[in-house]
Amino acid sequence: MRQWILKAGATNLDGLVLENAPTPEPGAGEVRIRVHAVSLNYRDQLVLKGQFANHLPARDLIPISDGAGEIDAIGAGVTTWAVGDRVTGLLLDWQQGAPTATSFGLGSLSEDGMLAEYVVLPVDRVVPAPVSLNDTEAATLPCAALTAWNAIHGGDPIGKESKVLVLGSGGVSLFAMLFARAAGAEVIATSSQDVKLKRWMDLGASDGINYRDTPDWGKAVFEQMGGVNKVVDAVGTGTLSQSLAALAYGGEVALLGLMSFDDHPLDFISLMSKGASVRGVAVGSAQMYDAMVQAINNYQIHSPIDRRFRFEEAKAAYQAQSSPDLFGKIVIDLV
């Protein structure tokens, strides 16, 4: 088979190499997946640059956390899966309940990812793909979509009367908007580009705000709308005070961004006076994934895909995923 390898100590695309390797065989309690598509996340850029969890890859690594395909072989003792099942990987070893910290996830520091023609995974790291999505769309779910589902429906869940603010136009923010709209909530989006705000509203957002034209956008959202019930902050701590300013009383910031860790002073007055909460979100569990898949099937939610690449074009896919013009997911098709 063919696989892309990120060489140990790599910090850029020069360390990403296409190699031939023996096709792996599943052991006891494992399944083999013929990978049909993978999708990129911002975390994959951090792994590539040696910035994920402040560690360089200590060994040669198959990168990229998210992929979908078909089970083509099963190991001894496997009864929950069969050859031909359409599946995706589960990024974290987290089944239900509170988060666990057993690993950093597929395609990162200690676990190989999905950028190969065949991968072998334990049975509890495999989840069913939605019947309503093709493999290209299903490949976008394990990180971005599940993180967005956790942000929207975890913590203080939203309802039909809720207002939600999403930051940026990456995959997590777009999925958060789609899930919030499916639940009947009103969604407001931010962007630095008016053309992207127009695309947001075409997808179902009720309003948008250009944060370059309105630097104090949190205050503006609060004054115009009386605040929002939830902010999906896919940027990081650099926007946290603005996110708090945008909240209605009793609202929640779902903080999940890895892009900005600026040392801005936190607006403790807003946090306390509004009775607000800040909840850290790190992907989600298998139980959350099952609920998400049910909603995707029921509401016919489709993945927001920006561009698609061939397997041989993996380096170009990485470059596209880091573009400021990105609006949706970058997918690499293997079949």
pLDDT(55) > 70? no
Q: Which distant-in-sequence residues (6+ apart) come within 8 Å of 91 by Cβ?
A: 65, 66, 105, 106, 142, 143, 146, 283
Q: Quick one: CATH architecture of 146-280?
A: 3-Layer(aba) Sandwich (3.40)
Question: Start-end ranges of CATH 3.40.50.720 in the chain?
Answer: 146-280
Q: Determine the pLDDT at residue 259.
A: 62
Mean pLDDT of 285-305: 97
The pLDDT-based confidence of 257 (bands split at 50, 70, 90) is confident
Place of tokens 């951090």: 46
Q: Determine the pLDDT at residue 101.
A: 67
Q: Which distant-in-sequence residues (6+ apart) come within 8 Å of 324 by Cβ?
A: none
Mean pLDDT of 234-240: 86
Q: Is 304 exposed, middle or buried (0-12, 13-18, 19+ CB in 10 A)?
A: buried
Condensed to tens digits (0 to 9), the pLDDT of residues 122-156 reads 999 999 999 999 999 999 999 999 999 999 999 98
pLDDT(177) > 90? yes
104 within 8 A of 113, measured Cβ to Cβ: no
Domain 2-140+303-333 CATH assignment equals 3.40.630.30: no
Q: Is 315 exposed, middle or buried (0-12, 13-18, 19+ CB in 10 A)?
A: middle
Q: Determine the pLDDT at residue 136.
A: 98
Query: Is the pTM above the cut of 0.85?
Result: yes
Question: Start-end ranges of CATH 3.90.180.10 in the chain?
Answer: 2-140+303-333
Q: Determine the pLDDT at residue 236.
A: 81
